[in-house]
Copies of this chain bind each other. A is one copy, B any other.
Amino acid sequence: MIQSFVFSDGKLIGRDLELQALRLVGADKGLIVWVDLDNPTDEEIKAILEGVFQFHPLAIEDCVTPSSLPKVEDYENYLFIVTHAIDFTRSEKFASTELDLFLGKEFLVTFHRKPLKSVQSMIDRVTKSVGVIARGPDRLAHGLIDFLIDNYQPVLSELGEELEEIEEAVLAKDSGEEFIGEIIQVRGDFSRLRSIVRPQRDLIDRLARGDSKLIRPLLLPYFRDLRDNLARIEDSAASYHERLLMAFDIYLNKAAFESSRGIKFLTALTAVTLPAVLVGGWYGMNFVHMPELQSPHGYYWALGLTIVSTVLMSIYLKKKNWF
């Protein structure tokens, strides 16, 4: 689906033009146009990207093929920007959608394969606001990326909650269930999140440094603001990741702790019952001449010896912390 928006003096003056009209608007100095390609057909791609705007074939290739690497490429008359929106639901888990932007002096072309909340929010703002919306496509691009980054926060919160559940499970003494699979998966999610945020931040940082004449100086503080937001997200993700690694280390050592408890218990059992086992075994011997067996108080002596030894052993074990 293709939508287009035409602005004059910062105000929306037209929508959803025909190809021919788009070409005229492009030629007109002073008119600004935003074209959004939402999962377009191959013909639409060809008509808009090649036909109307005549972008570089490599930029078009990068645009239509999915890529996990955000980047910004400077093609003299326009910037080609690859960013990623992220969605996260407990059931469907982590998913990222590419959003590509061609940012020129008087046009913005956006491209995505799935409907994006951030694009919809921008369309709403553009269509529902009155008064000045954007005097340049750089303003539109900033707004889009701002919405997009705002949508990172809930993902981070969700991952943070999963981390907390893992930490609780790891610290729980009686937790014997196997949540190693979940640790591995959350670790993968964090590493994917960071691999999206880090280059995104570098990208925005390059835009914010004012190297490109396609972004007006006036807008640089706004791009620095985006970079700060990304820095904050990256920071949180890094600290979550560190906590996850620690939980993983503790998890790996859980078995050793359980073994230790098992061995202590086994050792204590063996030690405490040892006197009874030894005495019972010894006086079970069938020698014809075994004076203790014939002695009238033999049994009571044996019983006493057993009890005393068992008590002494218990005291020793208690002192040595065996139970």
Contacts and interface: CB of A to CB of B under 8 A. Distances in A.
A81 to B, nearest CB: 14
Contacts of A293: 286-288
A101 to B, nearest CB: 17
Interface of A: 56, 58-59, 61-62, 67-69, 71, 73, 75, 167, 171, 173-174, 176, 178, 180-181, 184, 187-188, 191, 195, 221-222, 224-225, 228, 231-232, 235, 239, 242-243, 246, 248-250, 252-253, 255-260, 262-267, 269-271, 273-274, 276-294, 296-299, 302, 321-322
**Residue among A75, A176, A257 with the highest chain B CB neighbour number at 10 A:** A257
Contacts of A269: 267, 270-271, 274
Contact of A191 (B56, B224, B242): B242
The 5 closest A-B pairs by CB, nearest first: A280-B281, A262-B263, A284-B284, A287-B299, A283-B285
A232 B291 CA distance: 80
Contacts of A239: 191, 195
A289 B298 contact: yes
Nearest to A268: B262
Given A235-B69, A264-B258, A266-B267, A56 B221 contact: yes
Contacts of A171: 180-181, 184
Contacts of A283: 280, 285-287
Contacts of A255: 253, 256-257, 259-260
A246 B187 contact: yes
A302 B281 contact: no
A283 B246 CA distance: 54
Contacts of A264: 258, 262
Nearest to A249: B252
B252 A75 contact: no
16 contacts: A62-B225, A69-B232, A69-B235, A174-B321, A176-B321, A195-B235, A258-B263, A263-B266, A266-B266, A266-B267, A267-B269, A269-B270, A273-B278, A276-B281, A278-B280, A288-B293
A67 B280 CA distance: 72
Contacts of A67: 228, 232
A298 to B, nearest CB: 5
A298 B289 CA distance: 8
A180 B251 CA distance: 12
A13 B217 CA distance: 40
Nearest to A192: B239
Contact of A299 (B75, B221, B253, B285): B285
Given A246-B248, A283-B286, 5 more contacts: A73-B221, A267-B269, A273-B274, A287-B302, A289-B298
